[in-house]
Structure 1
């Protein structure tokens, strides 16, 4: 079914294929080599990085979707959210668009990207493919792979493995030179991606063994795995993450944070994914990777058929770098997990030990225990706020009257017996801990609470404690802070005490302030800044703490902030001068030139690809979404004619240089009125992205081809293709039922069936599908049955007799009926479907082609691409009278931008009034329009703009008018950037 891809990645992967592919998956990880183990290792309870228990809080993004000038900015935003790792794909057709021409420079400079990751102190998980999915054109396969004889993807197929090896010869050294044991950022490698048959450490065939051997021979030393681990929008599921049989930590490589069909924040997203993250933390998970934390853009022709230019994903860091509400939930979970990673990476389930700790029985309790301490999680699964008292043995007097307030769906952490340092232990913390930060001899604990919530922390110390604060109660070796949060918190409340030579500082604030709290590591020291919307770069020079801060353009409030060093808090403020942004830039003085010169009768085609039959787009090595086809038609007499040829995408037919008809190429036929004689047929073809081929194995030569391809025929009359309707189905009990032939058609046995529906309930099974082919007109001696896709294997019967068998899903095939006697009567068509995994049935409509004998159209010519959009010649002032209707056209003009003055304005090109096409700004291709998400306009990366004149070029494939377009501001994403210095003395 067409939805198989999204069902596969949004339903079945939730269980990691544990149902349909239990024999082909586990969640195990191959260990590091001996030389890498001191740097990256694991046991059944957690990861160890450089010998230290480390919780992996990872953020998914793709360098391929970000201009290289913005890599540092986006990675810094990830670091500021508390993440310690990033996860990326190394998309094949991004680095080898054209066969044998490898590109690892500029936006494709993977080595530079990984070096920036290392520079920022982050780790990297690298997913090297060779398949990626990722809502990327062709799933990441280079288009030229479609034209390799005998090639079958993701199988033990020598031609495929040959080209994979050549790509890996260029790719893997870039990755492996940057493994952590070699001083780089890379701590984990994933081979393959979401393969139907092998996940974790499962290697079902020679293909997997080949990938493993290739990577190991080329120097892979860090831990690795196949396909992925625990992909889902709620990876923790029912919370049972502990597994004594698993030799490695629990980790999710794709925790789907929102979805690729969404732009921007939607109400409830932050709360939903916050809860799903805390489920991982509370139930023994050792890490996760949000897919995506920053989505980015599909520049050029990289989108698949589900997307256009935007890949915003509705996630924490927007397409334009703006911060969404979910960003702050990411940040809260990441800092907590990393603060208590010595517990979370070495723990066992201790839920039974704390059963009954919450007086309210509606609260669910889970807990983790380790040598470093205990974490208890109170879970309010309901939709209303809950207040509960606690039953803590031995501390009844202390906690008497204290209530914990849990927000709807909140998972609230308590801390018990946690060792802060050699001199102090956190006996109990009833307040939410945001982060624990080591600052020289000071340990700062940042907690958050709302008005009326308890501020309660009790410490045990091995040495005598002291404090100048009356709010800190000291009794022998016990330290207690026991207050209620005040109603209004404009600045944090501080509590400090000393235990031996060490200082413990508690900084309490509400959630609004923790959202504005940032932890930086600068010159080897940790600093905490609270009160600012965002903190970018931070450095120290001449006893001055220098920072870059960012404020939404629409905000005009003064920001009161505090910088916490290891010894003091330094108050400072940042002015709140609102920046007025121009909302739109009008575009005028357009020039145009035709992009339909290839439709003319006298085109020089010496450089075109020539073939007997039309070849799919890309056969001439072009990687764009546009192509031209040409052929000559010999018409014997005036009349209506039907041209039949397989196709994919959109088309515009021209006869003798003039527009003749728009054409849905997937219909496979076009009817034209033609006069006697020779005619030049030109066809402009375009598409909106190729399928990502999720879970597809086998040949890709005919899968989702675009343009025109196969045999071409023309015949007077038509149209000749019709869709077969009125389908029925009946379940079969076993595969061998096919040997008995189909049961007689009886509606008491067969039930109505709608094409595309799953009749197997996502399970293995067998079924009969029946339709009646209408009686054909007199003289019809042949028809074709056109099957575009069945799921998975099909045996075809005509009037109860087997005539064909086809193996494989998403592969078109044809069945010919050539008995004229049979066609004089209605025909019983029955199809036996074998379904071996997931959903199954007949994916796409089955069509009848009654063209019969027809004249072949041969000697085709192909030229891919829109032409040179950036060429300086051939432009004239736009004039609708000069423009050919229903034909592609280029437009260009310039617009002016004022100096930014420290502001980052986010601009989008709004293609209102246009059809389908591409846009270039100063020579950079923004991607495809129209957008498919709930937003308007193609994002223009700020690094591609400049003060003064900027050029915009538009290629509209439909030839629509340009005058309604404009450059529009996305005000919500704009920000004011300023640098400040704070004296440290």
Structure 2
């Protein structure tokens, strides 16, 4: 894989970034806070401090841009319930300034409201302000209008780019800065730029980085900040060596890739895999992490890039529709533990040597963290089998055995002070969480039936207990027994002075259903609930909404634990309503969406140009556009139209469909009669490239529609691909001065396009092939290079004719020598590779259309037309086959579901490419590019009674087989509880 093929799957690009972006590995530092913010957010080399308290940051990546604002609270609450204390977001530029100079921070774009909701839930925020984002988002987040600013280069010290960045930041940054934690908001960290090839952490390689820093500081940035990101990987802990004496700040991963955007839903093993990778961070000195993504969401409207369509589910812990996957509960266990022992983990040093002999089993690795607050020893079972091992511990604890699951990292807690009177001397059982409730401290453990429940305490005051399973021996207190098979928590308590220690022993099925809620500064433990939604306390009344999966809805025993007692919640049964699996769509109407191709269509208000211009030149941000012109053919026959393009196209001649083609092919053959013709071209695309790692001009990068000079010539086609390439290594760059060596197969070996011949190293080489002889009378041919990695010098028959520097940039070479064109031509390309992969990335094409007549006088207009128009609709009988862009409209009614959340999706069965609106909301593009084929309809966009569905099918396919389908696996049933907890 050659690094300049940025159109390939992002997973390959991101893997390449791990090798090309050296700054990420060499600098993971963070700029410190200002004096004003320091009391609120600070750090040292061992951990983060928020308001002076050691805080382990467990962050969830999501994008408010991918969630309707009516569902923000729901998704944020689900994240909080999983033990997260932080949210990480992008502030995507083209989401807020889609039209040049028109800023939108309202509704779904109300960043201030989103941050307020984060704050109201008691969570923090990490804000990544860009101006580049990636994120599998259209154009990487750049507004389309930037493409039409001549002289603009992105992500470089380019005054024009910086001018527009500053204008955006003038609107964006005040919102972010006013929400900094020292101003009462949730923002604790800010990231400038994103995954820049040159600068990560605190590296500022050029004036562009300095400009971003100066701008942010001048706008009031006071919390800690950094460039590009920190430790992006699917396994960011790597080999586990996270301590670094040279690093002045904590270890943190801003993108811990959990699953991937090519997946929908959970697959077996996800929870175990990412659970292990999370515990590697916790066990080896990491001070926090952010899962990208914890909730993926949807690409509504035209926001998807070319790798996605509507779904950005990501296989995440919280699904596209808000459903909870197995990985959710794995993340919750890790988060609950890390935050329970954050005063250890955020102030610790490596203590591995002290516990090297705690186990003798060679299948187990030992790591340990030591801090003034206590110690934690982690036993890492690297095998694929469960391992039962004897623990070799002093302190008069003998005969202790534990069983460690395959791949599990098992924590043992040692000498952890629970309160001034009680120290947890050893916890040999997994600790799920520690909860402090007034004068009570509750330890929630995770132990399966048949395993040993073993906890040992030391007290400074005399201890007492009424529980026979709690043994008191002077200042020693112990709980040791075989865990029984129990369907509710087992409770063990003792008192030391004024303090109560309570142990709630549960199996994993119960800890998965255990939530810790803080209401009016008091902590409550709710256990037995598949999910705890809203909860409140008024007087002595505890009210909670208990949610269960729709398909597993059954009454469960749910308890709430206060500091003194446990109370069974009284559940109010919900109304039984069955969700149908499908809802048929009928009574269809249709509307012509290709009237723009008609001969006498009035295009007077369209954007005029001599040559066609790329989509977006008129300010339109959709995935569709129309082009019109006229041409005259002297004689009837087959003609070839050549014009650069990107996406899909359909040509109409004199108002009638003529041909469909891939615009990237660059040419189209038409049968034309003699005379004047109206030519209309419909163009559409499936998302723009996200421009990962790209620096420089973007005016010609991944343009869509048709653009540049348009030529027409009788005959054709005229474009072909060069094949039979050969490669020979050169010793040094000066070899280019000698010209290409004589072709000899003993020296030159066959070469396949897009192959790295430099073995990821710097090097030089000759690439050669033969250009076949063109027909007599050919006066010009053009070589089209789409991507060469990195610098290329082109030779024709041994003579240098062209030099191009840079990768990811197309270029052309014209051959007009009459003598050369009369015979086959020897083409040679000398390539200089300076980093990583190198060679010819993409096929080289030869264009023999020569000096053909130009087609000029174009007009263009973006957009599909008015999808929500009231007029113009006709009854659809199924007999109309347009074979051209068409609107279809129908209505559907969904059953009421009091106490339940039914999840509905639109299934575009039988359709081609297009967009869908439900009640005026654009739910995204189809067809999907992942395993699920249907498009999620957010429940907040549905209503009681008729709901309107509008389809814009670019191919004119008929909607007869489309359906509204239920995703019953993601549905939820909610039961309200009201209980007196006195």
TM (normalized to structure 1)? 0.98
Residues 1:128 and 2:122 are matched in the alignment: no
For residues 669-684 of structure 1, what are the structure 2 equivalents within 5 Å?
A: 669-684=667-682
Distance apart, 1:22 and its partner CA: 4.7
Task: Look up the SS of the partner of 1:589 in the other structure.
Answer: strand
8 Å CA contact 1:557–1:577 kept in 2: the answer is no
Task: Look up the SS of the partner of 1:497 in the other structure.
Answer: strand
Distance 1:632 1:11, change over 3 A: closer
8 Å CA contact 2:574–2:975 kept in 1: the answer is no
Distance apart, 1:360 and its partner CA: 1.1
8 Å CA contact 1:558–1:573 kept in 2: the answer is no
For residues 561-580 of structure 1, what are the structure 2 equivalents within 5 Å?
A: 561-572=558-569, 574=571, 579-580=577-578
8 Å CA contact 2:23–2:200 kept in 1: the answer is no
Task: Look up the SS of the partner of 2:393 in the other structure.
Answer: coil
For residue 305 of structure 1, what is the aligned residue in structure 2? 306
For residue 503 of structure 1, what is the aligned residue in structure 2? 500
Distance 1:230 1:353, change over 3 A: same
Distance apart, 1:798 and its partner CA: 1.6
Residues 1:927 and 2:893 are matched in the alignment: no
For residue 21 of structure 1, what is the aligned residue in structure 2? 22
For residue 845 of structure 1, what is the aligned residue in structure 2? 843
Distance (whole Å) between structure 1 residues aligned to residue 117 and residue 21 of structure 2? 41
1:362-414 residue CA offsets vs partner (Å, 9 max, x unmatched): 1110111111111111001111111111111343xx331x3211111111111
For residue 587 of structure 2, what is the aligned residue in structure 1? 589
Task: Look up the SS of the partner of 1:745 in the other structure.
Answer: coil
8 Å CA contact 1:24–1:202 kept in 2: the answer is no
Distance apart, 1:425 and its partner CA: 0.7
Residues 1:289 and 2:290 are matched in the alignment: yes
Distance apart, 1:23 and its partner CA: 9.2
For residue 245 of structure 1, what is the aligned residue in structure 2? 246
Distance (whole Å) between structure 2 residues aligned to residue 947 and residue 381 of structure 1? 54
Task: Look up the SS of the partner of 2:586 in the other structure.
Answer: coil
Distance apart, 1:812 and its partner CA: 1.4
For residue 979 of structure 1, what is the aligned residue in structure 2? 976
For residue 525 of structure 1, what is the aligned residue in structure 2? 522
Distance apart, 1:15 and its partner CA: 9.6
8 Å CA contact 1:95–1:108 kept in 2: the answer is yes
For residue 367 of structure 2, what is the aligned residue in structure 1? 366
Distance (whole Å) between structure 1 residues aligned to residue 890 and residue 17 of structure 2? 51
Residues 1:719 and 2:720 are matched in the alignment: no
8 Å CA contact 2:58–2:335 kept in 1: the answer is yes
8 Å CA contact 1:348–1:369 kept in 2: the answer is yes
Distance apart, 1:14 and its partner CA: 6.5
Residues 1:887 and 2:884 are matched in the alignment: yes
Distance (whole Å) between structure 1 residues aligned to residue 237 and residue 742 of structure 2? 48
Q: Which moved more, 1:927-936 or 1:775-784?
A: 775-784
For residue 894 of structure 2, what is the aligned residue in structure 1? 897
**Aligned mate of 1:947, from 944, 949, 962:** 944
8 Å CA contact 2:13–2:692 kept in 1: the answer is no
Q: Which moved more, 1:290-299 or 1:354-363?
A: 354-363
Distance (whole Å) between structure 1 residues aligned to residue 191 and residue 664 of structure 2? 36
Residues 1:755 and 2:753 are matched in the alignment: yes
Distance apart, 1:338 and its partner CA: 0.4
Distance 1:112 1:22, change over 3 A: closer
Q: Which moved more, 1:402-411 or 1:327-336?
A: 402-411
Distance (whole Å) between structure 1 residues aligned to residue 859 and residue 727 of structure 2? 44
8 Å CA contact 2:881–2:958 kept in 1: the answer is no
For residue 430 of structure 1, what is the aligned residue in structure 2? 428
8 Å CA contact 2:510–2:528 kept in 1: the answer is yes
For residue 790 of structure 2, what is the aligned residue in structure 1? 792
Give the length in aligned residue pairs.
980
Task: Look up the SS of the partner of 1:629 in the other structure.
Answer: strand
**Aligned mate of 2:408, from 362, 386, 410:** 410
1:734-768 residue CA offsets vs partner (Å, 9 max, x unmatched): 43433333333333333322222233334443332
For residue 658 of structure 1, what is the aligned residue in structure 2? 656
For residue 700 of structure 1, what is the aligned residue in structure 2? 698
For residues 242-641 of structure 1, what are the structure 2 equivalents within 5 Å?
A: 242-395=243-396, 398-400=397-399, 402-486=400-484, 488-572=485-569, 574=571, 579-641=577-639
Q: Which moved more, 1:182-191 or 1:735-744?
A: 735-744
Distance (whole Å) between structure 2 residues aligned to residue 940 and residue 3 of structure 1? 37
Distance (whole Å) between structure 2 residues aligned to residue 24 and residue 782 of structure 1? 49
1:25-50 residue CA offsets vs partner (Å, 9 max, x unmatched): 51000000011000000000000001
Distance apart, 1:803 and its partner CA: 1.4
Distance apart, 1:450 and its partner CA: 1.1
Task: Look up the SS of the partner of 1:560 in the other structure.
Answer: coil
1:883-907 residue CA offsets vs partner (Å, 9 max, x unmatched): 42x2000000111122221211000
8 Å CA contact 1:641–1:672 kept in 2: the answer is yes
1:654-676 residue CA offsets vs partner (Å, 9 max, x unmatched): 00000000111000000011111
Distance (whole Å) between structure 2 residues aligned to residue 352 and residue 147 of structure 1? 61
For residues 820-839 of structure 1, what are the structure 2 equivalents within 5 Å?
A: 820-839=818-837
Distance apart, 1:10 and its partner CA: 4.4
For residue 746 of structure 1, what is the aligned residue in structure 2? 744
8 Å CA contact 2:23–2:197 kept in 1: the answer is no
Distance 1:18 1:632, change over 3 A: closer
For residues 220-235 of structure 1, what are the structure 2 equivalents within 5 Å?
A: 220-235=221-236
Residues 1:859 and 2:857 are matched in the alignment: yes
Distance (whole Å) between structure 1 residues aligned to residue 617 and residue 899 of structure 2? 48
For residues 796-811 of structure 1, what are the structure 2 equivalents within 5 Å?
A: 796-811=794-809
For residue 970 of structure 1, what is the aligned residue in structure 2? 967
Distance (whole Å) between structure 2 residues aligned to residue 4 and residue 37 of structure 1? 44
For residue 728 of structure 1, what is the aligned residue in structure 2? 726
Task: Look up the SS of the partner of 1:101 in the other structure.
Answer: coil
Question: Where do 5+ consecutive residues of structure 1 fail to align?
Answer: none
Distance 1:946 1:607, change over 3 A: same
8 Å CA contact 1:626–1:685 kept in 2: the answer is yes
Distance (whole Å) between structure 1 residues aligned to residue 51 and residue 265 of structure 2? 38
8 Å CA contact 1:556–1:576 kept in 2: the answer is no
Distance (whole Å) between structure 2 residues aligned to residue 660 and residue 217 of structure 1? 57
8 Å CA contact 1:25–1:201 kept in 2: the answer is no
Distance 1:22 1:904, change over 3 A: closer
Question: Where do 5+ consecutive residues of structure 2 fail to align?
Answer: none
Task: Look up the SS of the partner of 1:399 in the other structure.
Answer: coil
Distance (whole Å) between structure 1 residues aligned to residue 611 and residue 294 of structure 2? 46
The RMSD of aligned alpha carbons is: 1.6
1:282-317 residue CA offsets vs partner (Å, 9 max, x unmatched): 010000000000000000000000000000000100
Distance 1:743 1:340, change over 3 A: farther
Distance (whole Å) between structure 2 residues aligned to residue 160 and residue 859 of structure 1? 31
